[in-house]
Structure 1
Amino acid sequence: MSLLTPPALSIRSYPTTGEVSVALADLFVTLSADAIQTRGRFTVGLSGGSLPKILAADLVKRGDAVEWDKLTVFFCDERLVPLDHEDSNYRLCHEELFSKVPIPEAQIHTINADLLDNADEVAEDYKDRLINVFAAMNSAKFPVFDLLLLGIGPDGHTCSLFPGHSSLENTVDWVISEENSPKPPPRRITLTLPVLNHAHNVCFVATGEGKQDMLKRVIDEKDQEIPSALVQPAHGTLYWFLDDKASAKLTSIDKSDQ
C-alpha cells in the first residue's frame, strides 16, 4: 500500500486488527530501543478503551525485544475511580499488559486513589509525578514523552478532551480535571493538548466501521472542532494505525496497489 502523507505524518491501514497489533508492537519495540539508546529510558503514555488489548496482543510475545525495566509509564487520562474498579484505565492496562510483562510496578505511575474526592488535587498530584520524572530528564516547558498511544471516541474525543469543552483552550497546564465528561464516569483527569503536542511520537489506534465518518473528519477534513484533529506534535511524528474497515472512507490513503 502506498501512503500519501506529509512529513511527520504516517497513516497505516491493515486488513485485520491482528495485523494492527503486530505493526503496533513493531513500532513500540523500535521506538523503545531508540529512546533507551538516546535517553536511557522509554517514557510512554497509555490510554484505555480497546487500545490496551490491541497493543498487548502481540507485544507480550516480544520478550527480550523490549527492555521492560527501562520503561516509565503514565496514563494519558484516568477515570477517578479506585484502581481496581472496572472503569479504571490502570486496571484494564494491568489485565492486558502489565501483568504479562516485567515492568517494575514503581515505574507505572497511577493516580493517587486517596485523593479521589477532590479532582483538582488528583490532577495536581499527577502533575507532580510528571515533574519528578521529566525534570530529571531536563525536559522542556512541558513533558516530552517518547510515545503517547491514543484512541479516538465516536465524538472525536481523545484522552478526556471533549468537543466544546474549555479544556481544549488550556495552553498552560500539564494535567487538568474533568468533572462533566459526556461519557461515564463523569469525573476524570487528562493530559492537555500542549503535552500531547510536545511528544516525540503520538500514535492513534482506531479499528472498525464505526470509526469511518469521524476519521474522515479528522484526517481528511482536519475539522478543528474535533479534539483529535488538534493533536499535531510540533516536533514529533503523528501515526495513525487503522484497520481497513476504519480507513475505508479516507482519501488520504492511496489503496490502488492493495
Structure 2
Amino acid sequence: MTTDRRVLVHPDKESLAGSVAARFITKMIDILDEFEEANVVLTGGTMGEKVLEAIRTSPASHTIDWSRITFWWGDERFVARDDADRNELQARRALLDHVPVDESKVHAYPAAGEGVDLDEAARMYARELAEAAPEGKEYPRFNIMFLGVGPDGHIASLFPGHDEIRITDTSVVPVRNSPKPPPERLSLTLPVIQSADRIWMVLAGADKASAIGLALAGASVDEVPVAGAQGRKRTVFFVDQEAAAEVPAALIAPSY
C-alpha cells in the first residue's frame, strides 16, 4: 500500500470545491487518454455535492467524454430513492442529470421500499461490482474514489468501533445502527476502498481537523477509519484552512 498521502489546503469552501473540480477534469482527461473506460466512485455530503456542482459549472466540463465513465458510490443511505438524504439524488441533482452520462453506467445502490431488504441490497450491489470487474476480481479498477470524512473519522459508512470496518471477506456490507442517521446504510468495505488508484478526500470545517490530524499521526483504523483510506497510487486530502488546523506543516503539499 502506498504511503504517498498529501494535504492540499485552500482558503475556503468555494475555492476548495473549484480546485478539486478543476483537478478532476484534468485528471479524467488523462485517464481517458490512457484507458478506454474509467470508474469513478462518488460520495455524498455538503462538500461532495459542492464539488460535483463545480464540475458541472466549469467551462471545461465539456472536454470530458462522459459516456466513457462508470459511476459508483462509496456508500448510500438505505432510504427511498427520492429521499433528500440519498447520495444518489444529491449527485444527480448536482451533476449527473446535467451531463451526457451513459445511464447504464450509473450504478446506484438499491433503495428502500423496492422489495429488497438491507442484506439483499448489499448482495445485489456486490454482484454489480463483480459483473463489472476484470476476470478473477470482485470489483472494478477504480481510477478515482471520492470520500467524505466525518468528524468522528468515519469514511463511507464505516464507523469507529463498529464491526463493518473490520470486514474483509465481501465487497459491500449492510450497516445497521449507524451512529449518524439514518440508521440503515450500505457501504463498500475497507479492502475495496484501498483498491482504488486514487483516493480524494474533500473536507471543510473545524470539526474535521481532529480526524485528519489523528489519521496522519498514525491512529488505528478501528478508532479512526480514515487512517485506513490509502489509495494504490495516491491519497490526497483536499481541505480548507479550518480543517487543516491539526495537520503537521511538513505534510502540507505546496502544489500537486
Same fold (TM over 0.5): yes
* Unaligned stretches of 5+ residues in structure 2: none
- Aligned equivalents of 1:125 and 1:100: distance in 2? 27
Question: Which residue in 2 is equivalent to 1:31?
Answer: 27
Offset from partner CA, 1:121-154 (integer Å, 9 cap, x none): 001110111112223xx47454321111001111
Match among 89, 98, 101 for residue 100 of structure 1: 98
How many residues of Structure 1 are paired with residues of Structure 2 in the alignment?
249
Whole-Å separation in 1 of the counterparts to 2:27 and 2:79: 31
1:52–1:96: 8 Å Cα contact kept in structure 2? no
- For 1:226 and 1:151, the matched residues in 2 are separated by 13
Deviates more, 1:201-210 or 1:32-41: 32-41
CA contact 2:130–2:139 (8 Å) conserved in 1 = no
Query: What is the CA-CA distance between 1:176 and the residue it aligns to?
Result: 0.8
Paired residues for 1:115-154 under 5 Å: 115=114, 117-135=116-134, 138=135, 140=137, 142-154=139-151
Secondary structure of the 1:203 match is: strand
Percent identity over paired residues = 29
Partners of 1:53 and 1:211 lie apart in 2 by 17
How does the TM-score come out when normalised to structure 1? Answer: 0.88
Of the three residues 149, 153, 173, the one matched with 1:156 is: 153
How far apart are residue 115 of structure 1 and its match?
Answer: 4.8
Partner residue of 1:20 out of 12, 16, 22: 16
TM-fit CA distance, 1:185: 0.8
Task: Report deviation, 1:217.
Answer: 1.1
> 1:112 Cα shift?
2.7
Residue in 1 aligned with 2:216? Answer: 219
Counterpart-to-counterpart distance in 2, 1:141 and 1:118: 22
| Structure 1 portions without partners, runs of 5+ | 1-5
Q: Which residue does the alignment assign to 1:206?
A: 203
Q: Aligned to 1:188, which of 181, 185, 190?
A: 185
Residue 23 of structure 1 and its aligned partner are, at CA, apart by: 1.8
CA shift, 1:38, in A, is 2.2
| Higher mean C-alpha displacement, 56-65 vs 68-77 | 56-65
* 1:44–1:145 Cα contact (<8 Å) kept: yes
Give 1:213 shift. Answer: 1.8
Aligned 8 A contact 2:38 2:70 in 1: yes
Q: Secondary structure at the match of 1:53?
A: helix
Partner SS for 1:134: coil
Whether the 8 Å CA contact 2:204–2:240 is kept in 1: the answer is yes
Instruction: Name the counterpart of 1:47.
Output: 43
In structure 1, C-alpha distance between the alignment counterparts of 2:250 and 2:9, rounded to whole Å: 8
